[in-house]
């Protein structure tokens, strides 16, 4: 199967079963980038060496349980010859410990150089941590091609990607284990990581630094797809929201803009221009809602609007009272923002 074929298959699967098992991976044991593979290799290497040491120590311990002196022996009676041998052995083992540590330090440093080495990235994405969602800004030399989205990062397969990481509130940590190790998002500082996704697919990540009440529900998805699909997606995201195609959607848009929703959320192409919450211009094209908490669907959008604190207690989204008609049309409208 061609790479593009498997990408489509993965995407189709992803669309059909957004959060059901096996459609995504979130594990350092499933690397899909040279960086993550390198880290896994280093991990197994260390594990093998250290497990062998542990085993050797345990065997020595077991052997030491044998009684080697008479029951009546004076505890202060020491055989000088045995003592010298033991001293030499302990000294030798200590030196050996030093050598093992030296080699492991060298391997670690080499791995660190590879992980954080400079690499010319073709795609640069700025990720800003918020309590409890991810703002994602695609930067472009040409401003009209730049855009902002949330909780979902698309990257082209086989292309080096650089993420710059910062935060506007508390410390978060960006971790998509299949792609690379984690890095903190710290207010007042900018960190960066880079990776190259090798296979199309959905790679889940989540915040790894405790960031308050809903730290547990601060997930994100990285979607790696072939360059053609990525460019198509990127063009689509840079465009303003699609014109509402039905009366229902038009009513929904009107209600959305008139309601307090527009104070926090932006939908490009409308008067809604709030920047406190996630950007919603193409929210309907995302696979999840509320930072990986719910699969995207009209029903879930409605459920979220009606009771954000039931689904994600402590979330900053306030309860906005909409009458049933408004709720209906607003969810239809948002779902239609592909």
Residues of this chain, 16-55, that bind another protein according to CB under 8 A = 19-21, 25-29, 36, 38-40, 42-43, 46-47, 50-51, 53-54
Instruction: For the chain, list the strands marked E by DSSP.
Output: 24-25, 123-130, 133-138, 147-150, 152-156, 161-167, 172-174, 183-185, 191-195, 201-206, 219-225, 288-289, 294-295
| Tokens of residue 270, six digits | 């409308």
Please report whether residue 300 would count as binding another protein according to CB under 8 A: no
Contacts of 323 (CB under 8 A, 6+ apart): none
Quick one: DSSP state of residue 266? B
Number of residues that bind another protein (CB under 8 A): 94
For residue 78, how many other CB atoms are within 10 A of its CB? Answer: 10
Q: What are phi and psi of 297, to 5 degrees?
A: -165, 165
> 133 or 256: whose CB is closer to another protein?
133
Smallest separation (angstroms) from another protein to the CB of 288: 11
Please report whether residue 15 would count as binding another protein according to CB under 8 A: no
Q: What are phi and psi of 58, to 5 degrees?
A: -65, -40
Among 4, 162, 215, 298, binds another protein (CB under 8 A): 215
> 83 or 307: whose CB is closer to another protein?
83
Q: What are phi and psi of 243, to 5 degrees?
A: -60, 135
CA torsion sign, 93 to 98 to 101 to 102? Answer: negative
Residues of this chain, 229-258, that bind another protein according to CB under 8 A = none
Q: Which residues pair with 219 in a beta bridge?
A: 206
Residue 105 sits at the vertex; the CA angle it makes with 100 and 107, to the nearest 5 degrees, is: 95
Please report whether residue 88 would count as binding another protein according to CB under 8 A: no
Contacts of 108 (CB under 8 A, 6+ apart): 42
Smallest separation (angstroms) from another protein to the CB of 196: 16
Please report whether residue 311 would count as binding another protein according to CB under 8 A: no
Please report whether residue 164 would count as binding another protein according to CB under 8 A: no
> 40 or 239: whose CB is closer to another protein?
40
Among 314, 318, 321, 338, binds another protein (CB under 8 A): 314
Among 12, 48, 78, 273, binds another protein (CB under 8 A): 78
**CA–CA dist 13, 7 (Å, integer):** 10
Smallest separation (angstroms) from another protein to the CB of 240: 33
Please report whether residue 207 would count as binding another protein according to CB under 8 A: yes
Residues of this chain, 279-298, that bind another protein according to CB under 8 A = none
Q: Judged by CB under 8 A, which stretch of 179-187, 233-241, 252-260, 273-281 contacts another protein?
A: 179-187
Residues of this chain, 98-137, that bind another protein according to CB under 8 A = 98, 101, 104-105, 107-109, 111-116, 131
Smallest separation (angstroms) from another protein to the CB of 258: 31
Please report whether residue 73 would count as binding another protein according to CB under 8 A: yes
């Amino acid at each position: 199967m061609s790479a593009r074929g498997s990408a489509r298959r993965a995407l189709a699967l992803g669309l059909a079963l957004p959060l059901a098992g096996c459609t995504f991976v979130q594990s350092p044991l499933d690397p899909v980038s040279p960086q993550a593979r390198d880290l896994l290799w280093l991990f197994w290497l260390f594990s093998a060496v250290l497990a062998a040491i542990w085993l050797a120590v345990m065997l020595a311990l077991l052997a030491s349980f044998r009684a080697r002196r008479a029951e009546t022996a004076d505890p202060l009676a020491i055989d000088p010859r045995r003592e010298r041998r033991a001293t030499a052995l302990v000294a030798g083992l200590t030196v050996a410990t030093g050598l093992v540590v030296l080699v492991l330090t060298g391997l670690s440093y080499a791995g660190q150089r590879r992980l954080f080495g400079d690499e010319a990235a073709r795609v640069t994405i700025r990720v800003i941590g918020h309590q409890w969602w991810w703002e994602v800004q695609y930067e472009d030399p040409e401003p009209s091609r730049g855009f902002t989205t949330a909780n979902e990062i698309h990257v082209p397969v086989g292309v080096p990607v650089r993420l710059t990481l910062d935060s506007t509130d508390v410390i978060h940590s960006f971790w998509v284990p299949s792609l690379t190790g984690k890095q903190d998002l710290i207010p007042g500082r900018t960190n960066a990581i880079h990776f190259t996704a090798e296979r199309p697919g959905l790679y889940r990540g989540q915040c790894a630094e405790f960031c308050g009440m809903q730290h547990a529900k601060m997930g994100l998805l990285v979607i790696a797809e072939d360059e053609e699909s990525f460019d198509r997606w990127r063009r689509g995201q840079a465009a303003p929201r699609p014109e509402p195609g039905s009366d229902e959607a038009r009513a929904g848009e009107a209600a959305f803009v008139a309601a307090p929703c527009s104070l926090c959320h932006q939908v490009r192409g409308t008067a809604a221009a709030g920047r406190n919450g996630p950007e919603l211009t193409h929210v309907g094209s995302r696979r999840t809602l509320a930072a990986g908490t719910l699969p995207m669907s009209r029903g879930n959008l409605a459920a979220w609007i009606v009771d954000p604190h039931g689904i994600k207690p402590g979330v900053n989204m306030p309860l906005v009272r909409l009458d049933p008609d408004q709720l209906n049309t607003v969810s239809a409208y948002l779902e239609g923002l592909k």
